[in-house]
Amino acid sequence: MAQLQIREALRRAMSEEMRRDESIFLMGEEVAYYNGAYKVSQGMLEEFGEERVIDTPISEGGFAGLGIGAAMVGMRPIIEFMTWNFSLVAYDQIINTAAKTYAMSGGQYNIPMVFRAPNGTAENLGAQHSTAVDSLFTHFPGLKVVTYADAEDAYGLLKSAIRDDNPVIFLESEMTYGMRGEVPDEEFTIPIGKARVRAEGSDVTLVTWGKQVFNCQAAVEELNKAGVSVDFIDLRSLRPLDEETLYGSVAKTGRCVVVHEGHLYSGVGAEIAARVQEACFDWLSAPILRVTNREVPQPYATNLEKLVVPNPQRIVDAVNRVLGR
């Protein structure tokens, strides 16, 4: 296995797919001559040229719409925003066109494209650069929404997203691009809609996705020391949701804690909690709890930022609450 940074795993996935299929191209702010704002696309311009690695103006609505049009006529665009916060300028294009065109055309037009960008909190970037957009996109049929924690999942999920015939929202993280992990040398894909069970246990189900996997891993280690057995699920796919794995775990443990960035109010955790209580009510021994960002815009100051986002101690405390400890 190769030891790759997450940015390298994402680049490998895109490059392999672009070599395989000439209809795929990458377009976004600073993806070409600057090698990507986070160096994810480093070297791709030299290999694939200006017609397939395309720098754009700072006009997210414009180049998102251009990509959607290209997808309608047979291309497979990868659209990179500098951050998902900036995608809100293109929200109309993504929701009213990308998500709805297949249904509104009676299946005449697929929109096979990937929108990708870092999501959620980074360090000291302030409220307008720190939004977790998960719930904004999972709300709409027609979109798939996926994310990853480590390099292996980043590679396998991005390849699946690029090959999918639907528009895929691909959530990345500025804070983890430089993290290294093992990625098999042989090509592989990871199915969209399949969760990853990172630890098996019997006392409580802990559910998360994205970079909160690392806070949950730290919490699981502390809980194990205290004798708590945790069934730890990394969803990876928020829409479609792996309900079979999720419900099977909760039916086994009888307790559930959901951890995610973004706010408590109308967050993805609320949807998961609602679905779990509908499907697993007879097995639940305690209310479902959520650990999320505090209900304030993200502060800039480091000390305040740490108070807002989930952390291992808040996760441990929530698990202890559902266990009545």
Are residues 220 and 165 part of one domain?
A: no
pLDDT number for residue 303: 92
Question: In percent, how much of the chain has pLDDT > 90?
Answer: 97
Strands (E), 161-284: 168-172, 180-183, 196-199, 204-208, 230-234, 237-239, 256-263
Does some domain include residue 191?
A: no
Are residues 201 and 239 part of one domain?
A: yes
Exposure b/e, 79-111, CB count within 10 A at least 16 = b: bbbbbbbbbbebeebbbebbbbbbeeeeeeebb
Residue 123 has pLDDT above 90, yes or no: no
Active-site residue identified among 8, 17, 29, 60 = 60
Provide the CATH number for the domain around residue 21: 3.40.50.970
Are residues 37 and 155 part of one domain?
A: yes
Are residues 35 and 146 part of one domain?
A: yes
Residue 317: give the domain boundaries: 196-322
Are residues 75 and 40 part of one domain?
A: yes
Residue 271 annotated among the catalytic residues of the structure: no
Does some domain include residue 124?
A: yes
Does some domain include residue 209?
A: yes
Are residues 134 and 35 part of one domain?
A: yes
CA dist 20 and 112 (Å) reads: 15
Does some domain include residue 144?
A: yes
pLDDT tens-digit map of 23-80: 999 999 999 999 999 999 999 999 999 999 999 999 999 999 999 999 999 999 999 9
Residue 325 has pLDDT above 90, yes or no: no
Residue 141, preceding peptide bond in cis (omega within 30° of 0): no
Are residues 146 and 119 part of one domain?
A: yes
Which of 137, 155, 183 marks a domain boundary?
A: 183
Domain count for the chain, please give it: 2
Are residues 89 and 50 part of one domain?
A: yes
Strands (E), the chain: 2-5, 24-28, 53-55, 76-80, 114-118, 144-147, 168-172, 180-183, 196-199, 204-208, 230-234, 237-239, 256-263, 289-293
Does some domain include residue 81?
A: yes
Half-sphere exposure (CA, 13 Å, Cβ side) for 142? 19
Q: How confident is the model at residue 188 (pLDDT cuts 50, 70, 90)?
A: very high
Q: How confident is the model at residue 1 (pLDDT cuts 50, 70, 90)?
A: confident
Does some domain include residue 102?
A: yes
Provide the CATH number for the domain around residue 233: 3.40.50.920
Are residues 31 and 137 part of one domain?
A: yes
CA dist 54 and 63 (Å) reads: 10
Are residues 47 and 172 part of one domain?
A: yes
Residue 139 annotated among the catalytic residues of the structure: no
pLDDT tens-digit map of 218-237: 999 999 999 999 999 999 99
CA dist 115 and 217 (Å) reads: 28
Structure tokens at 180: 């290294």
- Tell me the mean pLDDT in the region 117-137: 93
Residue entry with tokens 């990708």: 116
CA dist 131 and 268 (Å) reads: 14
Residue 315 has pLDDT above 90, yes or no: yes
For Cα atoms 92, 93, 97, give the angle at the middle one, nearest 5 degrees.
105
Does some domain include residue 286?
A: yes
What is the pTM for the complete model shown? 0.96
pLDDT tens-digit map of 191-219: 999 999 999 999 999 999 999 999 999 99
pLDDT tens-digit map of 243-299: 999 999 999 999 999 999 999 999 999 999 999 999 999 999 999 999 999 999 999
Active-site residue identified among 129, 172, 271, 305 = 129
Does some domain include residue 189?
A: no
CA dist 59 and 77 (Å) reads: 16
The mean of the pLDDT values for the chain is 97
